[in-house]
Amino acid sequence: MSEVVAHWIAESRIAIEQTRLLALHAAHTLDTKGNKAARKQIGMIKVAAGRMATKVVDCAIQVHGGAGVSDDFPLAQMYAYARTLRLADGPDEVHLSSIAQMELRDQLRRTAAKL
């Protein structure tokens, strides 16, 4: 195995774990504080999960070369499905705008509370 492929595997594992932990944090916030309090975390997981899945499958396609997009492996279908996740509940940009707005509001409240 080449060092590049080893790095892709490691980076993919890291991305999967980061996304899993973000999903668990969103679920915990949803369970303990309700859906209004979890809106920012839910938006973040919608962006992060789709991006992670697309990136991991893209690395797998790259490793397999031309075979990665052939009918011999399910990777092309997996990529199409992962890419669809990024559009199904609104494009990433919509979620990013909402996340930014909520983050700025939260930071403003924290700053005002300190004054």
Residue 112 CB burial class (10 angstroms; 0-12, 13-18, ≥19) = exposed
Residue 85: predicted pLDDT: 86
pLDDT tens for 30-47 read: 999 999 999 999 999 999
**Cα dihedral: 18, 22, 23, 25 (round 10):** 140
- Write out the H or E segment, with its range, that includes residue 104: helix 92-114
Instruction: Report pLDDT digits (tens) over 60-105.
Output: 999 999 898 998 899 999 999 999 988 888 999 999 999 999 999 9
**Six-digit token string for 83:** 């890419």
Asked whether 95 and 42 are in contact (CB, 8 A), the reply is no
pTM of the model: 0.87
Residue 108 reports pLDDT greater than 80: yes
